[in-house]
């Protein structure tokens, strides 16, 4: 009789240890998943701010750059692309389009010395450059969160729970080749 009680006590302790382990692992995975979501939300806020600066930039440069109508069409397409984005992949693609368009505008401005001297343009250029720097910082933080999350869901014993919870590998927010090229923004 005493050995049966000891056996049940031992099994009870093992079950409690596994339950505690499950709770620790589950909470850790949930925390990492939430960090990734928060990091993406921070990027999204900055992308929206940059998106809202585009009409101001267009209005400022429109009078000077009458012969650059394709750039204005590209900005409109880029804003529409961002506005219609429904998931992370589409937002990243629209970000690439907006970045490319902004780079084209800043390069084209080189041909318009009066525009380069315009105070409103200088303020907008500074604001957009600041937003780009903040986006780069947040992208780095996002990628750190995603890397930690991806590593954790692939480690034993976390990978067993990740499969049960249907946690999948998340993609990093990579930069594209055209973004790696150095662009002179000192107008």
pLDDT one digit per residue (tens) for the chain, 187 residues: 678 999 999 999 999 999 999 999 999 999 999 999 999 999 999 999 988 888 888 888 877 776 677 877 888 888 888 888 888 888 888 888 888 888 888 888 888 888 777 888 888 888 888 998 999 999 999 999 999 999 999 999 999 999 999 999 999 988 665 455 544 444 3
Question: For residue 37, which of 86, 81, 88, 82 has the smallest C-alpha distance?
Answer: 88
N-term to C-term CA, the chain: 89
pLDDT score for 87? 85
- According to the model, what pLDDT value does residue 183 have? 46
Instruction: Report pTM.
Output: 0.77
Per-domain residue ranges for the chain? Answer: 2-172
Count of CA atoms in the C-beta half-sphere (13 A) of 134: 16
Which positions ≥6 away from 131 have C-beta within 8 Å?
46, 49, 50, 53
pLDDT of residue 98: 87
Q: Which CATH number fits domain 2-172: 3.30.505.10, 3.50.50.60, 3.10.450.50, 1.20.1440.20?
A: 1.20.1440.20
pLDDT at 178: 46
């Amino acid at each position: 009789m005493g050995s049966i009680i000891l056996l049940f006590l031992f099994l009870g302790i093992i079950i409690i240890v596994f339950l505690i382990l499950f709770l620790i692992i589950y909470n850790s995975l949930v925390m990492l998943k939430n960090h990734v979501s928060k990091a993406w939300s921070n990027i999204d806020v900055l992308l929206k701010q940059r998106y809202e600066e585009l009409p101001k930039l267009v209005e400022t440069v429109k009078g000077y750059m009458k012969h650059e109508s394709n750039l204005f069409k590209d900005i409109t397409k880029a804003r529409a692309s961002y506005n219609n984005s429904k998931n992370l992949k589409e937002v990243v693609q629209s970000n690439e389009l907006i970045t490319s368009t902004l780079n084209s505008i800043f390069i084209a401005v080189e041909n318009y010395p009066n525009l380069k001297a315009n105070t409103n343009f200088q303020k907008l250029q500074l604001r957009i450059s600041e937003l780009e720097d903040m986006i780069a910082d947040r992208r780095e933080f996002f990628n750190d969160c995603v890397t930690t999350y991806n590593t954790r869901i692939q480690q034993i014993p976390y990978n067993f729970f990740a499969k049960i919870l249907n946690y999948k590998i998340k993609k990093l927010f990579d930069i594209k080749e055209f973004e790696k090229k150095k662009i002179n923004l000192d107008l």
